[in-house]
Structure 1
Amino acid sequence: MRPISGSNSNSLKCRLAGSVLCLLGLIPASVVAGAEDAPAAVKNVILMISDGCGYNTWDAASMYQGRWDAGAGKSTQIYDGPGWVKYACSTYPLNTSVAPTGSGVQDKNVIYDPVKAWDRQKGYAWLSETYTDSAAAATALSTGTKTYNNAINWSDQKQPLQPTMSEAAKAAGKSTGVVTSVQWSHATPAGLSNAHNADRDNYVEIANAMLSGGAMDVIMGCGNPDYDNNGVPVKKSKEYKYVGGPKTWKAIEAARATAGGTYQGFRPVSTKAEFEALASGPAPRRVVGTAQAATTLQQARRAAKTEEPGADTPRNANVPSLTTMVRGALNVLDDNPKGLFLLVEGGAVDWAAHSNHARRMIQEQVDFVAAVEAVAAWVEANSSWNETLLVVTSDHETGLIWGPQSDKIPFQPIVDQGPNRIPEMRFNSKTHSNSLLPVYAQGARSSLLSRLVTGDDPVRGPYVDNTGVARLLRHAAGGVPLEAGGSRSSP
C-alpha cells in the first residue's frame, strides 16, 4: 500500500476529523459531505475538443494510424491507456431553434433516447433532426446549461449565461486560453472564452469581446485576413470579421510590428517562426496568435483530385501545427502559480466531415491526437496528473459515419483497411447528428465522471451529459461542489 502524502494526506485527515465530529453530533453529515465535494481547486484544467468527431471518426483515424487492435475491436491511442476514464456523452441542445424562443423549456423530443437513436428504420432521421450545433454544445460545456443552437453563452430567455469556463477559471486566479485550428472567434473557442452573444455569426462582436473582456490570456487560431486558405498573401477582398474588423486588425498588426508592442495587453504573433518561439523559454504574459491562413490551418487548402493515400496536395508550410500552438499556449500560461485553464480545439475535423471528405477528416483527427499526446507529455514533464485534469471529447458528431453499405445495413461498422489506408466507410449525412460521443479523462478528479452518469446505452454503455462534463470542469477549476447527474435548461 502506498503511503499517503501531501495534500492527499491532509484531505484524509480532514475527512477523518469531520467523520469523528459527525459521530459525536457536533456537526451535521451534510457538512462533511460538502467538504468532500468542494476540496481545493485542481491547479491545471485542460479541455480538448475534436469538433464533429463521433465514435467512428475516432476509430477511423486510429485505423489509419495503425493504432487499432482488431482482435479487441478498439483503438490503442494514448487515451485508451492506463489511468484514463472513459464514458459516452450526450450532447442534445435545449431546442433546435436558431434564435431565442423565450421559454427556456427543454424540448423533450431532442433529449437523447437510445430507443430512437438505434431504431433501424427511423434512427438516422431522428439523429439528423435533433442535433446540437457547436455554439450550443460549447455553451453547455462552458456554463453547464442547455440553450438553443447558435447561442454563445446566451440563454433561451435572452440573457447572458455566466460565468463561462474561462470566467470561472479567471475568478479562481488562473490563467486562461483558447487554441483552435480554425478561426479563433469561431463557435467552440468563443463558447469556452468570456464571450456572450445571441448569435455565433456575430464574429466582430465576439472577437472584440474576447480581446477586451479581460478574462483571456491566450487566444490562438486562424482567421487572418491577409492570407487565403493556402497561406498565400491576398491584397483585395479581405475578410476582417473573424479578427474583430479592420480597425482591430490594423491595431493588432501595428502592435506586432513594434518591438514589445501589445494590443489590449496581448502580444500579437502571426508567423510560423513566432509561434515556434513561444514553445520554450521566456514568454509574454498574454498572447493573441493569428496564423497566416484564412479559415483553417490545413483542411481548407486546395483539395486533391483523388481520395487515395499519398495523393493529397502539400500542406501549408507557413503555418504552425496545432501541436506547436498548444505548446506555445502552455508555455505562456504555466507561469501562473495558481494554474491554468486551456481549451484546445481540432476544429476542422467537423469541416471535413461536412464535406464528406474522409481523407482530410482523418488528417485533422490525426493532428488532434498529436496535440493530445503533446499535452500529456507536458503534464508529465512540467506538472503531474495529481494536479492536472485533462478531458478529451467532442462537441457533436458530423456525417453519420458508418460502414460502406450502411445506407442499406443501418449502423454497419466501418471496416479497417490497415495502416495508411482509409477505412471503408460511408457518410450518411452532411450535417450533425445527436449521436453519443466518447469522453476521456485523465488526472485529478477524473474518477468523478462516474457520479455524473445519466443513462445506459445498449451500444455505448453508461453515458454522461455535456453539462455534466461542465460541472466536472468547474468543480476542478474552482473547487465548487460537484452536482451529480441531470442537465440544466436555460434559465
Structure 2
Amino acid sequence: MNRKYFFRNSALALTGTVLSGNLLGQTPPTQIRRATGGTKNIIFMVSDGMSTGTLNMADLLMQRKYGRRSSWLRLYDEQRAVRALMDTASASSLVTDSAAGSSSWGGGVRVPNGKLNVGANGEHYMPILQKFKAAGKAVGCVTTVPIGHATPAGFCINNDSRGDMDEISRQYLDLRFDVMLGGGADNFKATTRKDKTDLLQQYQKKGYTVVTSRDALLRQPVTGAPLLGVFHDGALPYALDREHDTALQQQTPTLAEMTQKAIEKLNTYPNGFVMQVEGGKVDWGAHANDAAAMLYDQIAFDETIKAVVDFAEKDGKTLVIITTDHGNANPGLFYSNEANRNFDRLHQFKHTNDWLLNGINKNFTVAQVLERMEAAQGFALKKEDAALLLKNYAQLDEAGVYNSGHLPFKTLAALQQSYTSIGWGSMEHSGDYVELAMFGPGKELLKPFVKNTDLHQLMLQATGVIAG
C-alpha cells in the first residue's frame, strides 16, 4: 500500500486514535472515536451511472410488465424517504468519473478524475470504511462489477490510478474488511494477474473465507472470518442475460443475494456496520446505449433496494442511502404514435445488445443476424438495417468505454430507436444533478440540495463517529 496507519493502542477498534498519513506526502493525523449517534448501521446504495431517465424508464417498465412500481419510486409515493438533488462534479471536471465520484463520498474531498482518494498534489484522504473500521464497526462492499473497480475502491483505499485493479485487490488484503463480494476474479488469480501472484491463496492464509460460486456463497455459514467472494472474471453478467442462462444462474449470485448474505454476516457485529452496495453494470449498459442491459440491471438494483429497506424497516437502526455517482448517456423514452407499444417490446427481451453483438461475426449472413436478433429480443430489424449492422463487422472500429471488441453498439442503438422509442444523448457520463434518497434514522440530516462530498460528513454525523 502507498499509505500506512499506525495505531496507538489496542483499544482503537472501540474508542482509539488512528494516525493516517501518506509516507510521501503526509496529511495531518486523524483522530477517530465513536460517540453516541442515532444510526447504528449504514447501507449506501449506488446505481452507478444512473441518469434520471434510467430511473424513470425502469419504473415504467416494472409497472407495465410486472404491475408494480419500483421500490425507489414507492418510497417517494409513500413519503417514507427524504429526497434531494446532488451535485456530482469532481476536482478536475464538472463531469465526474466513478473514481472521483466515489472518492467524494469515501474521502470527503473532491479529487481529480481517475484517482481514488488522492488529491492533485498527492494528498491522501482517509477512506470512510477505514474510518468506520477504526471506530469498531464492521464494513464491506458488494458490487456487480470487479470488486477492485472504482466505486467500491473509493470507499476503501488510496490509489493514484483507478485502473490498477490488480494492486487495488491486493490493497484490500491487509485491511481485513469483513465482506467483499463481486466480480473481478481475474484480479485475484495467478493465471490472470500481471505479477502471477495467487492472491486468493494469500487471502486464505490471512484467515479469509474465500468463495467463488453462488452455491458456496449461499451455503456459507456466518463466521467471524472476513468473507471474500469473487464469482466471475471481470464484471458479473448483465441481469437479463443471467436470467436466461442456466449456467450463469448457477455460477453467479444476484446483487440482492450478495447483499442479503452480506447483511446476514455484518449484522452479527455488536457495534453495527457500514456497507456499500453497487449496481455497477447500469453504468456499463448506459455506456453501450444498451437499453435492455441498463434497465434490467436497474430493476435488479431496485430488487436489492427492497431487500435492504425491508431489513432496515425491521431493524429500525439502519440508514439507507440510495443514489448514483453521476448520470450517463441521458437516455429517455421519446414521443411517437407507437411509443407505448414500442416501449413494451422490452417485455419480450431475453438478451442484451451485448449478448447479441458478441455472437455475430463477419461471416454471418443478413438472415442469420435477423434470426439471432429475433431470438434475443423478440423482433427483427428490416433487412437493410441488418445489412447496415453487419457491415460494421468488416472492420470493427467503434470506440467506447468497456467496448474492447469495438462492437457496433452505437449503430445498433440508433437502429433500435424506431422500435423501442428509446433515445440517447451520448455514450458518456453527464454533469447532471442526480437523485438522492434516504430512509431510516439520520435521513433528517439530508438537505434538499447537496454536494457529493457532503455525504461523507453526513454518514459520520449520523453514526456519531467523530473524525478530525
TM-score (norm 2): 0.69
Corresponding residue for residue 159 of structure 1: 123
Corresponding residue for residue 158 of structure 2: 196
Residue 368 of structure 1 and its aligned partner are, at CA, apart by: 0.6
Corresponding residue for residue 147 of structure 1: 111
Residue 419 of structure 1 and its aligned partner are, at CA, apart by: 8.3
Corresponding residue for residue 443 of structure 1: 440
Corresponding residue for residue 328 of structure 1: 261
CA distance in 1, matches of 2:72, 2:37: 35
Q: Is the 8 A contact 2:84 2:435 kept in 1?
A: yes
1:475 to 457, 461, 464: 461
Q: What's the CA shift string for 1:203-254, capped at 9, x where partnerless?
A: 122111112124x111111112399xxxxxx9xx95336xxx53233515xx
One-letter code aligned to 1:269: V
Residue 477 of structure 1 and its aligned partner are, at CA, apart by: 3.2
Q: Is the 8 A contact 1:405 1:426 kept in 2?
A: no
Q: Does 1:344 align with 2:277?
A: yes
Corresponding residue for residue 226 of structure 2: 286
Residue 41 of structure 1 and its aligned partner are, at CA, apart by: 5.6
Corresponding residue for residue 66 of structure 1: 63
CA distance in 2, matches of 1:55, 1:299: 20
Q: What's the CA shift string for 1:19-50, capped at 9, x where partnerless?
A: xxxxxxxxxxxxxxxxxxx8526210110000
Corresponding residue for residue 430 of structure 2: 433
Structure 2 counterparts to residues 1-80 of structure 1, below 5 A:
39-40=36-37, 42-66=39-63, 76-78=73-75, 80=77
Q: Is the 8 A contact 2:313 2:440 kept in 1?
A: no
2:347 to 420, 424, 427: 420
One-letter code aligned to 2:454: G
Q: Does 1:176 align with 2:139?
A: yes
CA distance in 1, matches of 2:453, 2:64: 31
Q: Does 1:138 align with 2:102?
A: yes
Corresponding residue for residue 320 of structure 2: 390
Q: Is the 8 A contact 1:78 1:373 kept in 2?
A: no
Change (3 A) 1:268 1:247: same
Q: Is the 8 A contact 2:239 2:297 kept in 1?
A: no
Q: Is the 8 A contact 1:397 1:437 kept in 2?
A: yes
Change (3 A) 1:445 1:301: closer
Residue 481 of structure 1 and its aligned partner are, at CA, apart by: 9.1
TM-score (norm 1): 0.66
One-letter code aligned to 1:438: E
Structure 2 counterparts to residues 372-411 of structure 1, below 5 A:
372-381=305-314, 383-384=315-316, 387-404=317-334
CA distance in 2, matches of 1:474, 1:449: 13
Corresponding residue for residue 211 of structure 1: 173
Change (3 A) 1:426 1:205: same
Residue 286 of structure 1 and its aligned partner are, at CA, apart by: 1.1
Change (3 A) 1:76 1:202: closer
Q: Does 1:298 align with 2:206?
A: no
Change (3 A) 1:263 1:435: farther
Q: How many residues align?
A: 359
Corresponding residue for residue 20 of structure 1: none
Change (3 A) 1:165 1:75: closer
- 3-state SS in 2 of match to 1:379: helix
Q: Is the 8 A contact 2:106 2:154 kept in 1?
A: yes
Unaligned 5+ residue runs, structure 1? 1-37, 97-109, 111-130, 228-233, 256-261, 304-309, 407-411, 454-462, 483-491
Corresponding residue for residue 4 of structure 1: none
Unaligned 5+ residue runs, structure 2? 1-34, 350-419
One-letter code aligned to 1:59: N
RMSD: 3.4
Q: Is the 8 A contact 1:63 1:418 kept in 2?
A: no
Residue 75 of structure 1 and its aligned partner are, at CA, apart by: 7.5
Corresponding residue for residue 240 of structure 1: 193
CA distance in 2, matches of 1:178, 1:250: 17
Q: What's the CA shift string for 1:27-83, capped at 9, x where partnerless?
A: xxxxxxxxxxx8526210110000000111011111111179x9x9x9743464332
One-letter code aligned to 1:142: G
Q: What's the CA shift string for 1:239-293, capped at 9, x where partnerless?
A: 336xxx53233515xx7xxxxxx34232111111111124xx53343101111x2
One-letter code aligned to 1:160: H
Q: What's the CA shift string for 1:445-478, capped at 9, x where partnerless?
A: 101112xx5xxxxxxxxx2111112221121234
- 3-state SS in 1 of match to 2:55: helix
CA distance in 2, matches of 1:224, 1:90: 33
CA distance in 2, matches of 1:481, 1:301: 42
Q: Is the 8 A contact 1:168 1:477 kept in 2?
A: no
- 3-state SS in 2 of match to 1:168: helix
Residue 160 of structure 1 and its aligned partner are, at CA, apart by: 1.0
Change (3 A) 1:370 1:333: same
One-letter code aligned to 1:441: M
